Amino acid sequence: MAEVQIMTGNTAAATAVKLCQVQVVSAYPITPQTSVTETLSQFIESGELKAEYVRVESEHSAMTVCISASTVGARVFTSTSSHGLLYMHEQLHWAAGSRLPIVMCCVNRGVGAPWSIFNDQQDSISQRDTGWIQLYCRDNQEIIDTVIQAYRIAEEVYAPVMVCYDGFVLSHTMMPVCLPDADMVNSFLPPYKPHTILSADNPRNINPVIFPGMRKNSAGILCDGYMEIRYKLQETLEKSRDVIVSTGIKYSKLTGRDYSGMLWHYKTDDAEVILTGMGSIATEATVAVDELRLKGIKAGVLGVRVFRPFPHAAIQQALQNARAVIVLEKDISYGYEGALCSDIKAALYGTGINPPLHNFIAGLGGRDVKAREIFEAVQTSLTEMNNKNTQNKTIWINCRQ
């Protein structure tokens, strides 16, 4: 029987890294991520995990160390939050462009100015277009399980994976976690094979300057230009949906915990009103759904586990019978609406699925979002949705306006 331990989200993440026998860790302190790397320091200095730990002077360098170490064939890990993630921005593009299976935890936190150490998802959302796969967790069990799956996904498709989970709400909250068995993880996760070997026997210049057009190599073969390389990254992320699902199914079989979909469902079978979101806000929504159901409203929650690649087909299917949709999110694309909301609307375009849709912006910078507030806001929205002019709207929850 697998062992159950009570642990924080950050301990769950570090434990997963140990189980995956990561070979190089490099990180820099930032709240609320810090204890992930502190725990890993303990594992490494005590010899529980045999890995190189590079205690760098910045997040830019942490991601750089991951890039170079991964290039020469080491399984690598880093974690960060908020400004640390933003500081890595250049390297996030570089990692994805280099097609390296780096796994990073982003412990979600708001972004300054002004300073906030508290949770929202503006940090990871603002890195949406860097070519990383983004997975979101709703509890600590999902954190440990998702990190393990992330390595397998990353190493199969050669793209980096960001495992996102909410700061404090998960990172510092104790929850029971069923510990995956080390042998099980070993069999689930084959050793990492780098796509290129850097050696003088076959010298290569990795990531040189490339021109717009395709050029021939010394053997006369026409090689990819910049566009082709970009197309391949896009194609890889598109195809990674299947890998994410098949990996989830394999993992579910080994653990009995269900990761077979890119979305999770709560009481959606007969639901007319669908609340959707990523991470712990979606968990909060399940409580609101129970209250709505007591009022006779057939509501359900659609949790989004995978944000990139975007699970558009699964979303279309899940929303086909919805009479109203509420997208809850802890981020804002300034000047428009929440990023998840835009993507969901885009996924429905041209499908004939066109329910009224309200976007709730909530919990920015750690502002409390209680199930009760969601419950009340949904009720107000449902009334407003009867009016043709207010069927598509962004609403800031629990915010003086």
- Contact residues for other proteins, defined by CB under 8 A: 23-24, 26, 51-52, 54-58, 60-62, 64-74, 76, 90-91, 94, 198-200, 203-211, 215-218, 223
Secondary structure class of 226 (helix, strand, coil): helix
Q: Cβ closer to other proteins: 213 or 335?
A: 213
Phi/psi of residue 182, nearest 5 degrees: -60, -40
- 252 burial (CB, 10 Å; 0-12 / 13-18 / 19+) is middle
List of residues 6+ apart from 364 with CB closer than 8 A: 110, 120, 122, 330, 331, 332, 399
Q: Cβ closer to other proteins: 211 or 334?
A: 211
CB of residue 52 to other proteins, shortest distance in Å: 4
Q: Cβ closer to other proteins: 114 or 191?
A: 191
Q: Cβ closer to other proteins: 95 or 322?
A: 95
Amino acid at 106: C
Q: Cβ closer to other proteins: 46 or 199?
A: 199
Q: Cβ closer to other proteins: 100 or 237?
A: 100
CB of residue 30 to other proteins, shortest distance in Å: 16
b/e per residue, 89-109, with b = 16+ CB within 10 A? eebbebbbbbbbbbbbbbbbb
DSSP-assigned letter for residue 180? P
Q: Is the dihedral of CA 147, 148, 149, 150 positive or negative?
A: positive
Crossing angle of the two packed helices 312-319 and 339-348, in degrees rounded to 10: 70
Q: Cβ closer to other proteins: 66 or 327?
A: 66
CB of residue 93 to other proteins, shortest distance in Å: 9
Whole-Å CA distances, 313 to 108, 132, 345: 26, 20, 12
Q: Cβ closer to other proteins: 73 or 365?
A: 73
Q: Cβ closer to other proteins: 76 or 319?
A: 76
Q: Cβ closer to other proteins: 186 or 207?
A: 207
CB of residue 87 to other proteins, shortest distance in Å: 10
Distance CA 288, CA 363 (A): 15
CB of residue 49 to other proteins, shortest distance in Å: 11
- DSSP H helices in 76-139: 82-87, 89-97, 122-125
Distance CA 292, CA 88 (A): 42
CB of residue 88 to other proteins, shortest distance in Å: 10
- 173 burial (CB, 10 Å; 0-12 / 13-18 / 19+) is middle
Residues in the chain: 401
Crossing angle of the two packed helices 226-255 and 89-97, in degrees rounded to 10: 90
Joined tokens for residue 96: 């994805």
CB of residue 252 to other proteins, shortest distance in Å: 31
Distance CA 344, CA 333 (A): 14
CB of residue 76 to other proteins, shortest distance in Å: 8
Distance CA 86, CA 123 (A): 7
CB of residue 66 to other proteins, shortest distance in Å: 7
Q: Cβ closer to other proteins: 196 or 380?
A: 196
CB contact at 8 A, 320 and 353: yes
CB of residue 159 to other proteins, shortest distance in Å: 18
CB of residue 191 to other proteins, shortest distance in Å: 10
